[in-house]
A and B are shown apart, each in its own frame.
Chain A
Amino acid sequence: MLECREVTKKYGRKTAVDGVSLKLEPGRIYAMLGPNGSGKTTLMKMIVGLAKPNSGEILYNGSPVGVASRREIAYMSTEPYFYAWMTAGDVGKYYRDFFEDFSMEQYERLLSQMELTKDLKAKTLSSGMMAKLKIAVTMARKAKIYLLDEPLNGIDLLARDEIVRCVLDAASPDVTLVVSSHLVDELEKVADTAIFMKESHLVSVCGIDEMREQSGKSVADRYREIYGHGGVEQ
């Protein structure tokens, strides 16, 4: 299990994440929602250990996150991080060198499932293909926690379907998946828990089906309440 305790991160004078406390449990798929600049990416980067909180702590199975936890936490960033000269095959080798839990077999399976081939060059890929390549190489790791930052943005419906499928495929009782997005509808069915971030704060964490049962509200309804009307809750 992963736990954030009163985590705060500042970049200069700007506070990117402010006092966030959050528990992420295995067997769940979390939708991390919020507009751009609400702190989603910074929070993910801290969980994976790429950024250090100014205060507060992040624990993975009881120990602070760091080099050891990185072996079990996979992170997919929004920015493409491959060299332009790389082919999809090179990307796989690159990952294999970095991560012990990377499975070339699984990578090849995912590539073919997404209709990509190993000889495709990174620089020639469309944004949809790049999104699929990024997800394939990330999900080819056998991690315990997957943090996917905006995997569905700026790509067509069919590519989105395949990525959602890939996420569902990775779900298992001992795995935690966190998917950030501002595309609420896409995640509504797939996630079981919604995390709402707003202006660097955690606004609420709620079970999606419970919310429907208790208040007849969908995630989209709740999203509008939190972020709409100039941010004033009604």
Chain B
Amino acid sequence: MDYNPSIPIYLQVMMSIKRDIVTGRLALGEKLPSVRDLALQYTINPNTANRVYKELESEHVCFTRRGMGTFVTEDEGMAAQMKAAMAQELVDEYLKGMQKLGISAEEAVRLIEKGREDAADQTENGP
């Protein structure tokens, strides 16, 4: 995983785990690696790995069973909520980027529609 130098590492790893839950790479209720293994998997400091789980727990994205480890939430609503939040983030980022270029929100929406049509055309007339 490549890290963004200006965002705390624990946040980036949290994001990566959430993405895995949303995309189904991690199933609801699945056991997560131990703190130690998480640190090795992402080559991050074990204290950072510990913090990742603490923060995810406080957001109810995962929970700890005493003596058994950390698990992904079993709440389906939670996964849907995370997906919606991530989508919202992408939209915000897109709109902000467009605004920086001096493109209005209306124009930005039109550009998305155009982009979708172009993509559809390409698949129709595809190779």
Contact = CB atoms under 8 A, between A and B. Distances in A.
B6 A190 contact: no
A212 B47 contact: no
A189 B10 contact: no
A5 to B, nearest CB: 26
A220 interface: yes
B45 interface: yes
A168 interface: yes
B37 to A, nearest CB: 10
Contact of A209 (B10, B39, B40, B42): B10
B44 A221 contact: no
B46 interface: yes
Contacts of A172: 46
Contact of A168 (B5, B9, B43): B43
Contact of B48 (A27, A192, A213, A216): A192
Interface string B4-25: 0111111000000000000000
For chain B, the bracket of interface size reads: 10 to 19
Given A190-B43, A190-B44, A192-B45, A220 B5 contact: yes
Contacts of A220: 5
Contacts of B46: 29, 168, 171-172
A123 interface: no
Interface string A209-229: 100110011101100000000
A216 to B, nearest CB: 5
Given A168-B46, A171-B46, A189-B3, A212 B9 contact: yes
A212 B9 CA distance: 8
- In the A-B complex, the 3 residue pairs with the closest CB atoms: A218-B5, A212-B8, A209-B8
Interface of A: 27-29, 161, 164-165, 168-169, 171-172, 188-192, 208-209, 212-213, 216-218, 220-221
Given A168-B43, A208-B45, A218-B5, 16 more contacts: A29-B46, A165-B40, A168-B46, A169-B40, A188-B9, A189-B43, A189-B48, A190-B44, A190-B45, A192-B47, A208-B9, A209-B9, A212-B8, A213-B8, A217-B6, A221-B5
